[in-house]
């Protein structure tokens, strides 16, 4: 069911500083910031040869990243995203096996313009999991 790792997401308190660190200190290619109001975040993707790192900054007061940063003010790993061929089939299989899909259970369009779902971290050893249909 799972494909490759699409990206690893890191919540950051200062997008400009985080982007500069990845670009200038580590020499990585970074995308321009992209606001995703439906998800309450602004994202930047760090392009790597084998995957991406997604930097997340809160967008608005109701952002789930604001809550994350209250607990971890310096930022930190937020989630890991795996690719799947059929997100609805993956959701149904996971739900049948007791995994909890966050939100209303229906895919939303993510930063790459593709359907995504998030799975409850308590069902995956403390790790928030995102699935993205490819």
Of the chain, the percentage scoring pLDDT greater than 90 comes to 96
pLDDT at 22: 98
Q: Tens of pLDDT along 96-127? A: 999 999 999 999 999 999 999 999 999 999 99
pLDDT greater than 90 at residue 92:
yes
**Average pLDDT for 78-88:** 98
Kindly give, in sequence order, each residue whose CB lies less than 8 Å from that of residue 39, ignoring residues fewer than 6 positions away. 59, 108, 110, 111
Q: What is the pLDDT of residue 61?
A: 82
Query: What is the tens place of the pLDDT at every residue in 38-53?
Result: 999 999 999 999 999 9
CATH assignment at residue 60: 3.10.180.10
> In sequence order, what are the residues at sequence separation of 6 or more whose Cβ sits closer than 8 angstroms to the Cβ of residue 124?
99
The DSSP-derived string for the chain is -EEEEEEEEEE-S-HHHHHHIIIIIS--EEPPPEEETTTTEEEEEEE-SS-EEEEEEE-STT-HHHHHHHH-TT-EEEEEEEEES-HHHHHHHHHHTTPPBSTTSS-EE-TTSSEEEEE-GGGTTT-EEEEEE-
The residues annotated as belonging to the active site are: 130
Specify the number of domains making up the chain.
1
Q: Please state the pTM of the whole predicted model.
A: 0.94
Range of the domain at 99: 2-133
Mean pLDDT in the chain? 96
Quick one: pLDDT at residue 56?
Answer: 98
Statement: residue 78 has pLDDT above 90 = yes
């Amino acid at each position: 069911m799972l494909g490759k790792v699409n990206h690893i997401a890191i919540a950051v308190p200062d997008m400009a500083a985080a982007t500069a660190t990845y670009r200038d200190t580590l020499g990585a290619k970074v995308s321009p910031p992209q606001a995703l109001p439906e998800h309450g975040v602004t994202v930047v993707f760090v392009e790597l040869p084998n995957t991406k790192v997604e930097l997340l900054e809160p967008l608005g007061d109701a952002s789930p990243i604001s809550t994350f940063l209250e607990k971890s003010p310096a930022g930190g790993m937020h989630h890991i995203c795996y690719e799947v061929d059929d997100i609805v089939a993956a959701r149904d299989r996971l739900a049948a096996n007791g995994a909890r899909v966050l939100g209303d259970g229906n895919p939303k369009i993510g930063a790459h313009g593709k359907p995504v779902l998030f799975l409850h971290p308590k069902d995956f050893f403390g790790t928030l999991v995102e699935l993205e249909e490819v």
